[in-house]
Structure 1
Amino acid sequence: MTDVDDVGNSLVAFSTADAGTTLRLRDEVGGHEYTLGSSEAVSLEPASPDRFVFPVDAAVSFTTSELVLPTDATTFVRDEQGEHLGQLTDERWSFERGTYYVELSPSPKAYVLVPDASFTGVHPTFGEFGSTPRLEFDEPTRIFVGARSPHERPQATITVPDDPEALATAFSYLGSSIKEWSCERSWPTIRGHPPAIERGEELHVPDVLEKPDTGVTIAVPPTYADLYRVAPLAFYLGADVVPGEEAELRLDLGYTEPLRRPGRTLEESVDRLLARCLLLDSLVRVGGYYSFPRYEYDEVAPHLPFYPPELYERSVGEQLVEYLEVPFDVLEPHVPKWTTTAVLRPRLEDAAVVPPLLDSLSRVHVATGADASAEPGRTLDTAVTAYAGRTPPVGETRLVPAAFENLRGREQSVPAECRFDFFGVGQAAVDAYDRVCNAVDTGHEDGVPTRRRRTRPTREVLRRALGASEFLHFGGDVTDEGFVCADGVLPWADLGSVETTVVSIAGGAGGDGVDAAVSLVESGAAAAVVFDGAVPDETVGRLAGYLRSAFSLAWAAELAADDTPHRLVGDATRSVTSRSGGTTPEVLDFTSVGTDRHRLTYRTEVTEQLELGSVLRPAADFAEGGYYLTGGSVVQSMGLTSAEVVDLFEEGYVVRLNGTVYPSAGELTLETVCRSARRALDETGQRT
């Protein structure tokens, strides 16, 4: 065998170090890497990714007697078919001769294929118990290591001239980042970032990109508007996009489904079909890598004309034929709340934002007419509606392409390391912030993060804060020139590099404040919130508290702003911090159905850690049905008494009772709950 110093491709590469006793795995797209250790020097040989039942981008093989694992990796063992056998811990496990996969979950994700061998494995947490995480083989064994890039950045860039048919060709390659064409692509880690698109003189598709071969074609009139509308579906289905007189889905099985029909717009059809596919794929995949109990499966599967696991090995087209037979009314209550619906303009310059939007599986609509509204029709539930190139309506978002670039490679701070700056507000803002942080359970045992309050900063103080804080509120005047500080105006051009994740300003009504927020995002911020005129200190504090508790800007503003008009700018789905253990923000939404009986809807949010298609298992005793899709709103069958509502509030949940949010300890008492119930029942005429 010949040593190979660097094996892999443009996504994942392997190399050796330390005289061959260290194997380095490198994510070529995102730049992440880690190492595995061997008891002896190894010689790497390229291996086929097809050896693995799991999708990998590249693989190598070598012989070793012992493999040292990353200390901070999560390590699962699976059998030859990929069925889960358990997670390695500090207790040594023995595995009799057979074929196994050992799954490692740092970045890039890796699988160690152990063919026809016996071994023992141990993985103490962070080096506890005096032992190193390792696999020990009973004899020198030839193993295979495959790795998959999380593919958080575009692998390549497609150049497109000002020609809709050229854009159609480019859109046919959007799905080239998806790792496999089974229903497992409903997992976000399987999808990857689509290739970037830029404007140029002629169409150029880099050789590294491969057009998916799923047997699905989307025909659409060759206009920018209709091409944008079908882009999410083209990505998720790996469809070949071709010009056509009518918008329709064509399968190589000979089946055709019209996408624009009487009473339903193209946008509605695409939104519904995308939601249908994601939800049903997430049910069919219980026959695949992860078979744990699912709430949505128990609720939906009995009403389907097929048994979901039986579709697991079927082609995309065969699955679609079955999926289209299901009435959407059966599915809609269980479709997760989508993160973003982007409203683009029917022009080529907006093509560049399509790939980063699809990275989070956003919906894409198109503005039409003088009022720049989207194509008329009923829109499914979405957290954020983001408009390109215009001031958004109150409560909505201005889409800024720079926000996507700003977020790449930026690590989220842990809660205790966050810095929050308040300028031009009273002590009430900080007090409200502290109350929310103390009430919402997000790992505050790590300590309260740094927070500063100043009345009116100098230009230098503000510039330094914009380069260091996770959240900054500026309560002073904002003009076309810049921030009005104690010693003059800090111009937009002199902001320097803005590292603040979220900036909050009282920018005045209409477009002036939005223009200021756009400048902040283009200087490096991820997002901004602009309040129309004066904003109560209490609102500022609550907003910051929810951001500290890992809520996205959009959800934090919804919970905190009450009736204060505001607009968002940039990536409003962004969180400034993350929760320990990969959990997601939760809201308990209660509706009173009696003076001492309240119906609970459990709501979760799609986050950067748990994107669309992910699942979570609530730790709370009241949660029913195992794992839930993130972004879901699950109505619990059990009702709760007023005393039980108060108990849950005191456990650290954000509680919304009959439409009113109670974020702070002491605000929700038994008397408050009963009074709210009586008022709600009187308003609906249920109490006599």
Structure 2
Amino acid sequence: MDLDFADLYDASLAERLAAYLEVPYALLEDHVPEWQLAAHVAPEPENVEMLPFVVDDLAVVRTPSVTERPASDVRSSATEEFARSGEFTRSVTGSSAPDQSLVEPDLTDAQEQLWVGDDAPVGANKAIAEAFRNRLERTSSDGEIDITVVCNDSKMDEERTLADEMYGSREELPFDVTVRSDLTTGELRDALARETQFFHYIGHIDENGFDCADGYLDTRSLDSVGAEAFFLNACQSYDQGVALIESGAIGGVVTLNDVVNSGAVRVGKAMSRLLNRGFPLRSALNVARDRSLVGDQYLVVGDGNLGITQTDGNAPT
């Protein structure tokens, strides 16, 4: 590049910008990195309040071109194949996915995609304004990292054991990991109300809520929750996750449809390992999706830039 950097150093910001814009893009094209985040913002007045938050994440903001998709269309072919072979899914017997409206944004080549709008997205994560407001109201903690793992089905104990091993394996950080099983609706309500950095649920969820030992707990009935972040590794957990955000949580990982148990275990293992190493929710899921054939059923809701631990060095992406 034919630029005199010594002169530019003393130039005004406007003069520097003009000089940089004269450089032919073809000269730079091969060296431009892949952008990390693209935000697809539906052009509705209520979405304006999200712009400062997505800009703060250095997202490329665009008005989207979308395709509407029925929920039945995004049922994973892998799930259907495993179900035919006899492997169980994490749905309640006889339940079916709710008839919800889904949108599929025309994705960019950014590493991560974010959807801002009413509907649930396919192929992107879902930003929710309440999540960012909740984060502003929370204070960071310098004490122990409090993690709660709940497994409400003994057939899924493999993931419970893996999560217990992964979380807190970094000796230099103070962890307090609580593992509980077969909770009742009242016990699960108390577990969600307890202040904790991360809540990892393993079990069944359907349109009625969390399947518990004595019935269902619908998080849409909760006034507040104490968990900052969560991972609902169950079928059809999107609506319950959104309700947790609306009740005070900041961010979490949910599913759009049914997931087979073995695939959910692989995603759960990868998420536990990555979150433990300091990956934020969005980046962790971006990697974990590739570990399973049902990874396309998972998405982040809320503020996906939230992490439960800090890294040893620079933030991983």
State TM-score, norm by structure 2.
0.73
- Quickly say closer, same or farther: Cα 1:543–1:516, change in 2 above 3 A: same
Whole-Å separation in 1 of the counterparts to 2:209 and 2:45: 31
Contact 1:414 1:578 in 2 (8 A): no
Contact 2:210 2:217 in 1 (8 A): yes
- Quickly say closer, same or farther: Cα 1:488–1:526, change in 2 above 3 A: same
Runs of 5+ consecutive residues of structure 2 not aligned to the other structure: 69-102
Choose the corresponding residue for 2:127, options 389, 399, 407: 399
- Quickly say closer, same or farther: Cα 1:331–1:519, change in 2 above 3 A: farther
Contact 1:459 1:488 in 2 (8 A): yes
1:277-288 to 2 correspondences below 5 Å = none
Contact 2:112 2:286 in 1 (8 A): no
Contact 1:367 1:373 in 2 (8 A): no
Residue number in structure 2 paired with 1:525? 249
Choose the corresponding residue for 2:190, options 439, 449, 464: 464
Give the fraction of aligned pairs with identical amino acids, expressed as a percent. Answer: 25
- Quickly say closer, same or farther: Cα 1:365–1:475, change in 2 above 3 A: same
CA-atom RMSD, angstroms? 2.9
Q: Quick one: higher RCO (CA 8 Å, sep 6+), 1 or 2?
A: 2
Quote the offset at 1:399 in angstroms: 1.8
Residue number in structure 2 paired with 1:584? 314
- Quickly say closer, same or farther: Cα 1:553–1:460, change in 2 above 3 A: same
Whole-Å separation in 1 of the counterparts to 2:284 and 2:160: 15
Q: Deviations over 1:525-563 (max 9, x none)?
A: 211212342343343233123212210112222333412
Whole-Å separation in 2 of the counterparts to 1:432 and 1:491: 24
Q: Does 1:573 align with 2:305?
A: yes
Supply the AA of the counterpart residue of 1:540.
Answer: G
Whole-Å separation in 1 of the counterparts to 2:26 and 2:191: 50
Give the secondary-structure state (helix, strand or coil) at the position aligned to 2:207. coil
Choose the corresponding residue for 1:479, options 200, 206, 211: 206
Whole-Å separation in 2 of the counterparts to 1:453 and 1:311: 59
Whole-Å separation in 2 of the counterparts to 1:343 and 1:500: 27
Q: Does 1:365 align with 2:57?
A: no
Residue number in structure 2 paired with 1:315? 12
Give the secondary-structure state (helix, strand or coil) at the position aligned to 2:63. strand
Residue number in structure 2 paired with 1:451? 177
Q: Does 1:505 align with 2:232?
A: yes
Whole-Å separation in 1 of the counterparts to 2:204 and 2:183: 12
1:480-495 to 2 correspondences below 5 Å = 480-495=207-222
1:230-629 to 2 correspondences below 5 Å = 304-332=1-29, 335=32, 338-368=35-65, 371=68, 379-394=108-123, 396-413=124-141, 416-424=144-152, 425-431=156-162, 434-435=165-166, 438=169, 444-447=171-174, 449-466=175-192, 467-508=194-235, 512-531=236-255, 532=257, 533-535=259-261, 536-561=264-289, 562-563=291-292, 564-565=294-295, 566-579=298-311, 583-585=313-315, 604-605=316-317
Whole-Å separation in 2 of the counterparts to 1:500 and 1:429: 18
Report which of the two has the higher share of strand.
1
Q: Deviations over 1:49-94 (max 9, x none)?
A: xxxxxxxxxxxxxxxxxxxxxxxxxxxxxxxxxxxxxxxxxxxxxx
Report which of the two has the higher share of helix.
2
Give the secondary-structure state (helix, strand or coil) at the position aligned to 1:558. helix
Give the secondary-structure state (helix, strand or coil) at the position aligned to 1:576. coil
Runs of 5+ consecutive residues of structure 1 not aligned to the other structure: 1-303, 586-603, 606-688
Contact 1:415 1:446 in 2 (8 A): no
Quote the offset at 1:384 in angstroms: 3.5
- Quickly say closer, same or farther: Cα 1:327–1:409, change in 2 above 3 A: farther
Whole-Å separation in 2 of the counterparts to 1:414 and 1:336: 35
- Quickly say closer, same or farther: Cα 1:342–1:426, change in 2 above 3 A: same
Whole-Å separation in 1 of the counterparts to 2:244 and 2:144: 25
Matched residues, number: 271
Q: Deviations over 1:440-467 (max 9, x none)?
A: xxx62335x2223333212232223223
Whole-Å separation in 2 of the counterparts to 1:332 and 1:444: 43
Q: Deviations over 1:159-183 (max 9, x none)?
A: xxxxxxxxxxxxxxxxxxxxxxxxx
Quote the offset at 1:412 in angstroms: 4.0
Quote the offset at 1:405 in angstroms: 0.5
Quote the offset at 1:403 in angstroms: 1.1
State TM-score, norm by structure 1.
0.36
Q: Deviations over 1:243-274 (max 9, x none)?
A: xxxxxxxxxxxxxxxxxxxxxxxxxxxxxxxx
Whole-Å separation in 1 of the counterparts to 2:66 and 2:270: 38
Contact 1:423 1:456 in 2 (8 A): yes
Give the secondary-structure state (helix, strand or coil) at the position aligned to 1:572. coil
Give the secondary-structure state (helix, strand or coil) at the position aligned to 2:64. strand
Quote the offset at 1:365 in angstroms: 1.2
Q: Deviations over 1:249-301 (max 9, x none)?
A: xxxxxxxxxxxxxxxxxxxxxxxxxxxxxxxxxxxxxxxxxxxxxxxxxxxxx
Quote the offset at 1:348 in angstroms: 1.5
Whole-Å separation in 2 of the counterparts to 1:504 and 1:357: 22
- Quickly say closer, same or farther: Cα 1:529–1:574, change in 2 above 3 A: same
- Quickly say closer, same or farther: Cα 1:499–1:327, change in 2 above 3 A: farther
Q: Which structure has the greater CA radius of gyration? A: 1
